[in-house]
Structure 1
Amino acid sequence: METFYSSFKELAAKMDLSMIGLSSVALLAIYITHYIYKWRNPKCNGVLPPGSMGFPLIGEILQLVLPSSSIDLPPFLKERLKRYGPIFRTNVAGWPVIVTADPEFNYFLLRQDGKLVDPWSTATFTQVFDKAKKSSTNNIRSLTLKHFGLEPLKEKLLPKMEDVVRETLRRWSDQESVEVKGAAIEMTINFAAKLIFSGDLENAQLKIGELYKDLVEGLISFPINFPGTTHYKCLQIHKKVRGILKDVVEKRLAAPERTQEDLLAHIIQEMNIGKDFVIQSMFGLLFVTSEPIATTMAFAFKLLAEHPAVLEELTAEHEAILKERNNLDTPLAWNEYKSMTFTLQVINEVLRLQNTAPGLFRRALKDIPVNGYTIPKGWVIMIATVALHLNSNQFEDPLAFNPWRWKNIQPSVAAKCFMPFGSGMKQCAGAEYSRVFLAIFLHVLVTKYRWTMVKGGKIIRAPIIRFPDGFHFKISEKTN
Structure 2
Amino acid sequence: MDWVLLLWSGFLSFLLLWFWRRSSQKERRDQIPKGSLGWPLIGETLHFIASTHSSNPVSFMQKRAALYGRVFKSHILGRRVIISTDAGVNKAILQNNGSFVPYYPKSLASLLGENSILRIHGSMHKRVHSLLGRFFKSPAVKDQVSREFKDTLHLSMKEWKEGQVVLIQDEAQKITFQVLIRVLLGLGPGEEVDRLFKEFKIFAEGHVSVPVNLPGTKMYYAMKARESIKLFVDEIIKERMKKLPNTTGEMKDVIDMLLNEIESKKDGELTADFICGNIIEMMMPGESTMPTLFTLAVKHLSDSPLALKELLEENMELKKRKIHEGEEYEWADYMSLEFTQYVISESLRLGNLILATWRKTLKDVNIDGYLFPEGSCVLTCIGSVHLNEENYEHPYDFNPWRWKKNEVKMYSNNFIPFGSGGRLCPGYDLARLAASVFLHHLVTNQRWVAEEDYIDNFPNVHLKRRMPIRISPIS
1:289 is displaced (CA, Å) by 4.2
Q: Does the Cα contact within 8 Å between 2:408 and 2:414 map onto a contact in 1? A: no
1:75 is displaced (CA, Å) by 4.1
Aligned to 2:293: 296
Are 1:126 and 2:117 an aligned pair? Answer: no
Q: In 2, Cα distance between the equivalents of 1:253 and 1:162?
A: 31
Going from structure 1 to structure 2, the CA distance change for 1:347 and 1:98 (only over 3 Å counts) comes to same
- Within 5 Å, give how 1:141-220 maps onto structure 2: 141-173=129-161, 176-199=164-187, 202-204=190-192, 207-213=195-201, 215-216=203-204, 218-220=206-208
Q: In 2, Cα distance between the equivalents of 1:463 and 1:420?
A: 18
Q: Choose which of 63, 68, 71 in structure 1 pairs with 2:47.
A: 63
- Within 5 Å, give how 1:172-321 maps onto structure 2: 172-173=160-161, 176-199=164-187, 202-204=190-192, 207-213=195-201, 215-216=203-204, 218-226=206-214, 229-253=217-241, 259=247, 261-271=252-262, 272=268, 273-321=270-318
SS in 1 for 2:472: strand
1:142 is displaced (CA, Å) by 3.4
Q: Does the Cα contact within 8 Å between 1:356 and 1:465 map onto a contact in 2? A: yes
Q: Does the Cα contact within 8 Å between 1:49 and 1:88 map onto a contact in 2? A: yes
Are 1:97 and 2:85 an aligned pair? Answer: no
Q: In 2, Cα distance between the equivalents of 1:61 and 1:224?
A: 19
- Within 5 Å, give how 1:107-126 maps onto structure 2: 107-114=91-98, 116-126=99-109
Q: Does the Cα contact within 8 Å between 2:335 and 2:436 map onto a contact in 1? A: no
Q: In 2, Cα distance between the equivalents of 1:329 and 1:442?
A: 21
1:200 is displaced (CA, Å) by 7.4
Q: In 1, Cα distance between the equivalents of 2:44 and 2:222?
A: 22
Letter in 2 for 1:137: H
1:392 is displaced (CA, Å) by 1.0
Aligned to 1:460: 456
Letter in 2 for 1:270: E
Q: In 1, Cα distance between the equivalents of 2:434 and 2:239?
A: 30
Going from structure 1 to structure 2, the CA distance change for 1:413 and 1:316 (only over 3 Å counts) comes to closer
Q: Choose which of 73, 90, 96 in structure 2 pairs with 1:106.
A: 90
Q: In 1, Cα distance between the equivalents of 2:278 and 2:86?
A: 33
Are 1:78 and 2:31 an aligned pair? Answer: no
Greater displacement, 204-213 / 388-397:
204-213
1:385 is displaced (CA, Å) by 0.8
Cα-to-partner distance string for 1:270-311 (whole Å, 9 max, x where unaligned): 224333312111101111244211011112222211211110
Q: In 2, Cα distance between the equivalents of 1:381 and 1:333?
A: 42
Greater displacement, 420-429 / 56-65:
56-65
Aligned to 1:38: none
SS in 1 for 2:74: strand
Letter in 2 for 1:281: N
Greater displacement, 251-260 / 74-83:
251-260
TM-score (norm 2): 0.82
- Within 5 Å, give how 1:283-432 maps onto structure 2: 283-325=280-322, 327=324, 330-409=327-406, 414-432=411-429
Q: In 1, Cα distance between the equivalents of 2:64 and 2:283?
A: 35
- Of all paired residues, the percent bearing the same amino acid is 26
Q: Does the Cα contact within 8 Å between 1:421 and 1:428 map onto a contact in 2? A: yes
Q: Choose which of 20, 23, 35 in structure 2 pairs with 1:51.
A: 35
1:189 is displaced (CA, Å) by 1.2
Letter in 1 for 2:110: Q
1:404 is displaced (CA, Å) by 0.6
Aligned to 1:446: 443
Letter in 2 for 1:91: H
Aligned to 2:265: none
Letter in 1 for 2:102: P
1:67 is displaced (CA, Å) by 5.8
1:429 is displaced (CA, Å) by 0.4
SS in 2 for 1:416: coil
Gapped regions of structure 2 (runs ≥ 5): 1-24, 263-267
Aligned to 1:6: none
Letter in 2 for 1:204: E
1:68 is displaced (CA, Å) by 4.7
SS in 1 for 2:101: strand
Gapped regions of structure 1 (runs ≥ 5): 1-41
1:355 is displaced (CA, Å) by 1.2
Letter in 2 for 1:263: V
Going from structure 1 to structure 2, the CA distance change for 1:307 and 1:417 (only over 3 Å counts) comes to same
Q: Does the Cα contact within 8 Å between 2:311 and 2:339 map onto a contact in 1? A: yes
Aligned to 1:10: none
SS in 1 for 2:371: strand
Q: In 2, Cα distance between the equivalents of 1:111 and 1:166?
A: 40
Letter in 1 for 2:455: I
Aligned to 1:476: 472
Aligned to 1:35: none
Going from structure 1 to structure 2, the CA distance change for 1:477 and 1:200 (only over 3 Å counts) comes to closer
Q: Does the Cα contact within 8 Å between 2:145 and 2:183 map onto a contact in 1? A: no
SS in 2 for 1:89: strand
Q: In 2, Cα distance between the equivalents of 1:51 and 1:477?
A: 54
SS in 1 for 2:252: coil
SS in 2 for 1:110: helix
Runs of 4+ residues deviating >6 angstroms: none
Cα-to-partner distance string for 1:56-96 (whole Å, 9 max, x where unaligned): 44433333223654442344323322322211101234432
Matched residue count: 436
Q: In 2, Cα distance between the equivalents of 1:386 and 1:235?
A: 30
Letter in 2 for 1:394: N
Letter in 2 for 1:264: I
Q: Does the Cα contact within 8 Å between 2:357 and 2:379 map onto a contact in 1? A: yes
Greater displacement, 272-281 / 80-89:
272-281
